[in-house]
Amino acid sequence: MAAGCPPTFSDLATRLGFSCEEAGGLVEFRNPAALENWTLPVLEFTIILGAVLALVYAILRLRRHGDPTNLVLWFGATAFLFVIEPPIYFPATFGTEEYLGTMFAHNVFSVDFLWGRLPLYIIAIYPLMATIAFEIVRMLGVFRRYGVLVGAASVGFVHHAFYEIFDHLGPQLRWWEWTLDNKVNLPFLDSVPIPSVVVFAALWPMSLALCVQFFVGKHVDAGRHFSGLQLVWRTIVIGLVASVGVFVLPLPATVLGMGSDTVRGAIYLAELAVVFGVAIWAMSRQWAALRKGTSTTPAYSDDFVRWYAVAYLAVFGLLWATALPDWFDAVDGVTANGDPIGSLWYVIGCFVIAILCVAAVFTVPRTSADADPKADDLETAAA
């Protein structure tokens, strides 16, 4: 195998049900009905469809309203993916073996890239989840009222809720498996590393949103228009700078928690609590102001995100419902099939937050697309 098959990855692959030695080439296609279980094709269909629709919506919004923010967000998230993920998948190749090692392994899906390392749905989940979180915050007018930093923290908060619903279910359903003794993953919150709970669920989307709004979004809100070349270089910069932000934002935990997994985990959670506090304060105040009619923030509408967020929560509600019998029968955090379970109580909290966020964007005053060039809806995108 051209990419190599290190022992830790080989062991994880075997436990997931496939052979590392037989995971083929740069791209490989499989029969969806022949995957590990029925939840894998449901997951990838939900995520890939959402990402494609988000891209279509972003293109139509640029063409019809001259607003490139969604498109820059979509491609900025994808650029971020290709900066961050390869060193994680191939630490020996990128010289990160000593620090990162093999952190996890994805199961094989209908479409995989890079010798079984990168499922297509993982490429899609970055722009989809970023779009859902960013647009919920933008529809509430948080960026315009409270600025780039507070708006970015709110995006991290919303993204965290939607992402952790997925993150705590994956190991039980064999979507991926974590390396339990990898120092970078420690400590764990049940089956999920706390660094994933904080960095990948909240801090990376916060970093991305900050860059998108700083380099493009706030200028569009002010009426500025960008040329194609300007958008290209800004999108590349957004992907690169957002990647740097992922290393900078967790530095308190990384530096102060070097000698203790417990201390590192506590600092990670303290950072997350700060993000939560800022976001809850800003979003609740802005929602209340919009409802009372006391906010002067111009209305912005995105019915694609409104309804696809509902679909996402419905699909994951179904997936969690089917996983609950094995979850409740688990002994010492492991199902009868040998799969680790996530924190149901944490996920319930994330469901509550996600549902409240979606309810918030359904209950704020709206203007029609004809009356407000900044507004759009799903019917327009589908036309």
Give the model confidence (pLDDT) of 174-206 as tens digits.
Answer: 999 999 988 899 999 999 999 999 999 999 999
Give the model confidence (pLDDT) of 102-155 as tens digits.
Answer: 899 999 999 999 888 999 999 999 999 999 999 999 999 999 999 999 999 999
Residues whose CB is less than 8 angstroms from the CB of residue 72 and which lie 6 or more positions away in sequence, other chains included: 212, 215, 216, 231, 234, 235, 238
**Rounded to the nearest 5°, which phi and psi values hold at 29?**
-115, 140
Give the model confidence (pLDDT) of 244-269 as tens digits.
Answer: 988 899 989 988 888 899 999 999 99
Other C-beta atoms within 10 Å of 51: how many?
24
- For the cut 90, the answer to whether the pLDDT of residue 371 exceeds it is no
Instruction: Give me the chain's average pLDDT, please.
Output: 91
Query: Structure tokens of 296?
Result: 């002067």
DSSP letter string, 183-250: GGG-SEETTEEHHIIIIIIIIHHHHHHHHHIIIIIHHHHTT----HHHHHHHHHHHHHHHHHHHHHTT
- Given pLDDT bands bounded at 50, 70 and 90, which one contains residue 379? very low
Q: Which residues pair with 29 in a beta bridge?
A: 111
DSSP letter string, 79-103: HHHHHHHHHHH-HHHHT-TTTT---
**Torsion sign over Cα 365, 371, 372, 373:** positive
Instruction: Starting at the earlier edge strand, list the strands of the sheet with 111-113.
Output: 27-29, 111-113, 118-119
Give the model confidence (pLDDT) of 344-362 as tens digits.
Answer: 999 999 999 999 999 999 9
d(CA 130, CA 134) in angstroms, rounded, equals 6
- Which amino acid would we find at residue 165? I
Say what percent of the chain tops pLDDT 70: 95
> What is the residue extent of each domain of the chain?
7-382
**Rounded to the nearest 5°, which phi and psi values hold at 27?**
-145, 145
- Given pLDDT bands bounded at 50, 70 and 90, which one contains residue 3? low
